[in-house]
Amino acid sequence: MTARFAPGSRVLVKNDWPEERGPCHIRTPHYLRGRAGQVERVLGAFRNPEDLAFARPAETRVLYHVVFDQPGIFPADGKAPDKLLVEIFEHWLEAA
């Protein structure tokens, strides 16, 4: 499986709320939805835990380390140059 994004790519976390459509298991933190970050590293391809949690057949999806400026996410707690590093699957990311 080929990664869509390379290290250094600017990405946007999709502003999607599947939990409003019914029961689901989501690995993407709600506070990052709609936020821009940068791909730090491609971690490889893994079966989608959002499906595995419900014992459904799970496609293999690319997983990334994405870094965010912490002050932009937590203004009261973050100070430059603090960063937040999060694992996010490709289907949650768009090109920024």
Sequence ranges of the domains in the chain:
1-59+91-96
Residue 87: the pLDDT is 97
pLDDT at 94 over 80: yes
Residue 75: the pLDDT is 86
Residue 23: the pLDDT is 73
CATH 3.40.50.2300 is held by the domain 1-59+91-96: no
Residue type, 34: G
Residue pLDDT, tens place only, 21-74: 777 778 889 999 999 999 999 999 999 998 898 898 999 999 999 999 999 898
pLDDT at 85 over 90: yes
Contact 68, 86 (CB under 8 A): yes
Give me the numbers of helices (H) and strands (E) for the chain, helices first please: 2, 5
